[in-house]
Structure 1
Amino acid sequence: MKHARKFASLLLALVMVFAMAATAFAQDVDSGSAGEGTITITNAAKGETYTVYKLFDASVSPGGDSIAYTGDIPGALTDYFKADKNGYISATAAAKDGGSMSEGLRAALKEWVKTATESVYAVSDGSALNFKGLDYGYYVVTTTQGEQAISVDSTMPDVTIVDKNSSTPSNLEKKVDNGNVNIGDTVTYTVSFKTSNYDGAGPDAKKILSYTIEDTLPDFLKNVTVQSIIVDNDGNAGTTGDQTNVTAQFAEKKITIDWYDEASNHFLYDNGATVTIVYSAVVTDKAAIDGAGNTNKVTLTWEKEGDPDPGKLETEETIYTYAIALKKVNEKGAALGGAVFELPFYVEETPDAADGAYIYAGTTQGTGLINRLTTPDDGVITIKGVAAGDYEINEVTAPAGYNKLLNPVIVTAVKTGETKTQTVFYLDENGNVVNQATATKVEYVNNNIAAVAVLVVNKTGIELPFTGGMGTRIFYVAGSVLLIGAAVLLIVKKRMNAEK
């Protein structure tokens, strides 16, 4: 036996927590073997199933200074264990991550125990759990909380593990697929949390009967539809483990999932299972523009047997939408009405009565929707409910007497964190926007919403001739001048010829 106590220490380093203390109250489980080894699990979660799998045999030298591990290495574990020519097994570097079990080995053990046949298991009553009569060997202990690898031999026949169990539900999370939205967009929320069958530790733990998820679902959301509710019994959200689909929709903004069946006196799902709820909703024109955004809170509560005070966790998620605006002026800064602009999207034909802004309505034409807007007398057009980004707006008709813009107007919606707007622009004597406070001052003010604004300047056009007006008189005058000039030239020429 070449494997000394140093190798035993290496394997023991894979144990998550060791303790050597005995426990006054315990739940004994007979392994069915005639061995002398014992594995004790303290702080066992009430209602949790603990399973002990034997991976390798162990033998100890007469002096107790050397331990050897033998047996067959499963194919799924060949990257983590190796055997020498005498058949003695040791751990590879891939099995360790510092002083802990590597994530690779942990994942490999999880797969191996699915097909392992030599095991003993028990459901904890909340007291210490003693697996007795075990043969010496290298064991893997599993729960829904994880795996622990330990060695039981004559030098340490009684091993105690302090379980890091979760005695209350935890890890409540809420996420949205897109926090930057247009009014009318469909957003998808995902809420997940890790469950526990009991609240508390030991014999005093309270049985959890049900879980309730409540979302505030404010009026900036409508058409709320639950897409899926999945209880993942292997405890890992998003994996393809032992999953159960639950069918339910929000009723009075709540969803309740029964967790314990009192008729059959058993839990419906595993301790430590992960619950994931996916639901969609449409963003309405009640959404706040910019500012603090649009937040909806989710609250998780759980009903405990014999306890009128439910447990509770809370979290929230926020989505944002914005507004854009333009102000039409001449080169002197005076407001211009009558300019027609074409948008790259549609808006509701009638502006919001509360703030005067047009409401974003998507990119598809429909009844009551328009994509051409005419500036009123104050020259201002405001549009709310757009996502952050660049928008290209084209002038299709200029005000009478002004040149139409040759290039589109670009306005960029960004988050400002404000709830109202006061934007100042300055124009030089030629009507160009400049950065100098001594020039002509022009303001865009909106006390109701925050809008990213641009100043659009039209300059006076050159009047072209038209029938019946000054244009024909210009032609008459010009023609007369030409005739007089020709007559003078003719007279001068005749006199010159006569003098010759």
Structure 2
Amino acid sequence: MKYQQISENRKGINMKLLKKLFTAMFSLTLVIGTGTRVNAQTTPDAPEDTPETFTITINKDASDKEAHTYGAYQIFTGDLADGDSGNKILSNIDWGTGVTKATLITELKKIEAFKDLADDASAAAVAKAIGDANLTADSAGAQQLAEAIGKAVTDPTNSVTITADAKTGKITGLPAGYYLVKDTAAVTGEGASTRYILQVVDNVTVTEKADVPSVEKKVKEKNDSEAAAEGTNPTDWQDGADYDIGDYVPFKITGKTAGRADEYYKYHVTFIDDQSEGLDAPEQFKITVLGKELTLANEAEATATVTVEKIKITASIVAAGADFQIKVAFENTDNEGKTEGFVKLGDAVKSQDIVVEYTSKLNESAVIGTPGNPNEVNMKFSNNPNLTDDSEEGETPKDKVVVFTYEIKALKVEPDGSAIDQTAYDALSDTEKANYVKVGDKWQKTKPLATAGFTLFKKVDASNLTDEQKSGVKSEYEKATKKGDVVKDGSDYYIAVKDEIKGTDTFEFEGTDAGAYKLVETTVPSGYNKAEDITITVAATYDTKVDNPKLKTLTVTPEEAGFTVTTTIEGDDQHITTDGIISGKILNEKGSVLPSTGGIGTTIFYVLGGLLIFGAGIVLVARRKASE
């Protein structure tokens, strides 16, 4: 595509060829949306004594979330007329009102194709040089041309502001001429500055070529009680999970570069991660970009660098800690040491995934039940391809995952009075019922007992144990009362969730996830029978593919174990709004003893009995001797 030749005597510019070149090359490009098409439209004839004006209509892409003010800067002025074959001709070319000609010529002469322009070249001469360059759409030379013109513009002829929620805007009242359209100010948020439009004015409609980089965060769920299985345990990456306090939770951030990142001289993204207090700071990060892996310590000013096909990639810690920031920057090594004539990044960097993986430990500050422990990320990104640096930035919305954890709570009690039947129990108030526990088909009134010790064990599949854990396996629960101790019970393995709890009547095991559990009385009060082991299974469901994951169900089985969950369900999405506590009672009963009055009568009976036995022995011995 090229311009028709433009002679010094101003024969005119072929309108059709101009439009083919510039609307393809310099279409409006925001970092949000896709696609640009320019259509010429017929304008009603204006009165002879009134100069005809034209309108550029800009349609926003549906994904454009930011307001923009676009200005139309007149580069050349001229007369618009019909040419051969129905095309338009811009003739009598002169300098427009929106450009400084000396600056434009200076900037153009920095480009090889225009280095021979005279310092005092006329508008027609400059237009001819542009046409003679035979620039093709989206070539490096074409982009350099647009940027050179962009540096020379002054004030727009007219402008339009398109609000964030508007779909279209019109720049009106434009005299015939050749215009550059661009953002008049830096764009922030979910947007980017326009890639310059160069347009011979006619009534035209432009639809944004929009393209926003994206970011998402994911987490994996793992059930220790079940065998490891690829794709299901742990799960694929999703938006919700539940874990035990002390577990290391795997997270993944995926940022995608802009689809037009190739048009930048420098480009970067910065991940801004915001963890809840229930998650510790990760120790390090694995970053995968352009097929290469980088390891980055979570330390202030840490960096890691790799070069892939002349693209230098630098990952660096902008902020270290639990709430960290990681910047990944791209530069073309051909630009090292240059002060001008920079080379753009090229296709290698456009629409590329940047993946950051790490683990964070779920700690004692974790929230039990709802709303869980969120982990959010958003991403800043380069958003002005017209600059030789990457100083202007846009910013994506936040993406969130949530890690849930629960509590198993047991109250140790002993009998307090006689048992009652179901009918009598049903007649009690809720407050009174709280003091009873079911034993067989009766309800036993109880009172707290604070002298026992309990340890909660979680069933763990052997595939989820480390070699070190397997080597230290114990054979008795009573000898495995420290957090992390492993017991082998038949073919099953159990791991202590927490150190044994003693000296209280309430045993709270905070920070448990879904799975199979066994509650064992590992210290039995003197004079009491050991309580039976209680085996329960905790199950939960939560959102895994939504922007704001919530806990949906929490259950415990079997019913006869006597443990329950009290939940409140609210909202259109029917989520749990309660604290995620599984609670129950454990009844301890005293052991059986032989009856004893403890009085003097018994003592005399024992003594006399002993004397009778002793006397019988003497008589027996005397008789044997007499017979001899």
TM-score calculated relative to the size of structure 1: 0.46
Greater helix proportion: 2
